[in-house]
Amino acid sequence: MSSTGPIKQARKSLLWLGVIFLISAAILITGVLSGKAALAPKLALDLEGGTQMILAPRVAGGDAATQEQLDQAVEIIRQRVDGTGVSEAEITTQSGRNVVVSMPGIPDTRTRELIQASANMEFRAVILAGSFTEVPEDQRLAKADLPKPTAKPENGSDVNWVDAALYQKFEKFDCPTELGQRSDEEHEADEPMISCDPDVGQKYILGPVEVPGADISDSSFSMARGQQGAVTGQWAVNLEFNADGTKKFAEVTQRLTALEGAQNQFAIVLDGTVISAPRSNAVIPDGKAQITGNFTEESSKALADQLKFGALPISFEIQSEQQISATLGSDQLRSGLIAGIIGLILVAIYSIFQYRLLGVVTIVSLLVSGVLTYLALVLLGWSMNYRLSLAGVAGLIVAIGLIADSFIVYFERIRDELRDGRPLPSAVEIGWKRAKRTILASKAVNILAAVVLYIVAVGNVRGFAFTLGLTAVVDIIVVFLLTHPILQLLGKTKFFGEGHRFSGLDPSLLGVVPLYRGAGKVRSFSPEAEGARGKKNAKAASEATRRQTIAERRKAATSVSAPTTQDDSADKDSTNG
């Protein structure tokens, strides 16, 4: 009954590993058949080449961009690009005038917009709203009917901001036809402006900026929720303001809630275009707002990323764009792969030499780890735009030794239990309980080091940290779901259970006294009693003594060394025991 428990557990673990393989392979095959994924991992700039864009800064008022502005822009652009996936792009300044962005592959439209956009977010009150279509000449107001300010404006919603010139401009204003298309209209923060919302077909006269985008502390995207907390099925962007923004936003919503018509609306302006103009139905005192509209998951995420990574101090236009070749090339990749194969062969040779056929378990586990890691890299390249650099390849090579270390710890624990006279099935279970604590502690340190390195590093070093952490996670999966279950099954076989000399568990090489014979059998080691095998066994005993640890030698020195003899009945009792 007790023997069926580990076997059943081993089969269940192997089944779970098979499920992981099948699910990963099914996802990958689906992506390949749909044309969205490839069978090979995506390569980074140093191995594949890509696109280089030179961005020319555009500063309000036509002034030249300062070095401080360029440095800040480089950091924000790097955060934005990294936010689209671990693509390991290179962003630098050029001659103190331009910003150079080098990216692997060909960037899509969304990435280009993310790099160029200044993400100048403003919150302005709506003063007047009208039709998206230009008002016909015969329907425009006569000069006598044009608005005439009667007093100085008191707040951002005051109609006294609208004079005759502004209203005529509003009537003739030609709105962009697509959501996200920029307007060339210049506007000042402390002056009213004209803007449009192409998504709803409205154009507005807006008051001065009341809450700047710099007051946003965080943003995210999620499904929108109604007043009762129920999910509405629409995507939304969630905003959180800092202390100053919270105070300003509370004052504005308190004023707007008491107004009616268009003046009840609060326009959210991104780069001069209204992306949403929601009505204010209640005062928002906690600084947590939600932007809703006709968002898709992709557009809501793009906007949340722009706001989360901050507004650029300047905007950019693409001055030039060209394809660049790989900085290292396929030769370096080939050399890295050859180095990995050599490392794998050396580990395999050592495992076979040290553990005989038990080393095959190490080789199989390494191969399975490699396949799982490969699937993970391909799937991450599809879902997160992860790209493998030469530094990432180096992380995979280093991981070979770290993964093999887990198996060595486990095997040596089993050998220690066999030296204590336990049968192999028991040695496997007890050795695993002790080994898995060491393995988990070791992998936790590896993962922690990888996470810290990934956070503090930039560029290719992050690729090294990423693959190092990924392989540590894969190692844990393989050891728990493959290596240990295989040894549980092998422990029930005659070849390994009785310690065959090619199994790697030969008791004569482990210094086992009395020697372990499997199935609960033991026998005394006595060269004289072994007859013709005396010299061979004596040599094995000498080798076992040489391999003993200091603790084992001390234990042997304090133990009683008198030889014991067993008659047939004693041997029979030990066998039954």
Read off the pLDDT of residues 371-418 as tens digits, 9 standing for 90 and up.
Answer: 999 999 999 888 877 888 888 888 898 888 888 888 889 998 998 888
d(CA 76, CA 91): 10
Residue-wise pLDDT for 562-572, tens only, equals 444 444 443 44
Q: What is the pLDDT of residue 520?
A: 46
Structural contact between residues 161 and 207, judged by C-beta atoms closer than 8 angstroms: yes
Read off the pLDDT of each residue in 232-241 and give the average, rounded to a whole number. 85
Which stretches does DSSP call E strand in 486-540? 515-518, 521-523
DSSP bridge pairs for 99: 55, 93
pLDDT at 216: 83
What pLDDT shows up at residue 524? 40
Q: How far apart are CA 6 and CA 492, in angstroms?
A: 10
pLDDT for res 313:
59
Number of residues in the chain: 577
Report the run of H or E that residue 252 belongs to, with start and end. helix 243-257
pLDDT bucket at 185, cuts 50 / 70 / 90: low
Give the residue, 365 or 130, on which the prediction is more confident.
365
CA-CA distance, 564 to 522, in Å (whole number)? 12
- Check residue 542 and give its pLDDT: 59
Assign 430 a pLDDT band (cuts: 50, 70, 90): very high
Between 353 and 545, whose confidence is greater? Answer: 353
62-92 pLDDT, tens digit per residue, is 667 777 778 777 877 777 676 665 466 788 8
The H-assigned helical ranges of 356-497 are: 359-384, 390-419, 424-456, 460-478, 484-490, 494-497
Angle separating helix axes 297-308 and 109-116, nearest 10 degrees: 30
Average pLDDT over residues 47-72: 76
Pairing of strands 231-241, 202-212: unpaired
Average pLDDT of the segment spanning 261-279: 83
Beta-carbon contacts of residue 301 (< 8 Å; ≥ 6 apart): 221
Contact assessment for residue 203 and residue 173, using Cβ atoms and an 8 Å cutoff: yes
Backbone region of residue 504 per phi and psi (left: phi > 0; alpha: psi in -120 to 50; beta: other values): left
pLDDT tens digits for range 458-480 = 667 888 999 999 999 999 999 99
Reported as a single tens digit per residue, the pLDDT across 490-518 is: 988 888 888 888 888 877 666 654 444 44
pLDDT band at residue 271, thresholds of 50, 70 and 90? low
Tokens of 169: 């401009």
User: Quick one: average pLDDT of 290-307?
Assistant: 77
Mean pLDDT estimate for the chain:
78
Question: Residue 573: is its pLDDT beyond 60?
Answer: no
Residue 143 in this model has a pLDDT that exceeds 70: no
Residue 479 burial (10 A CB sphere; 0-12, 13-18, 19+): buried
First-to-last C-alpha distance (Å) of the chain: 17
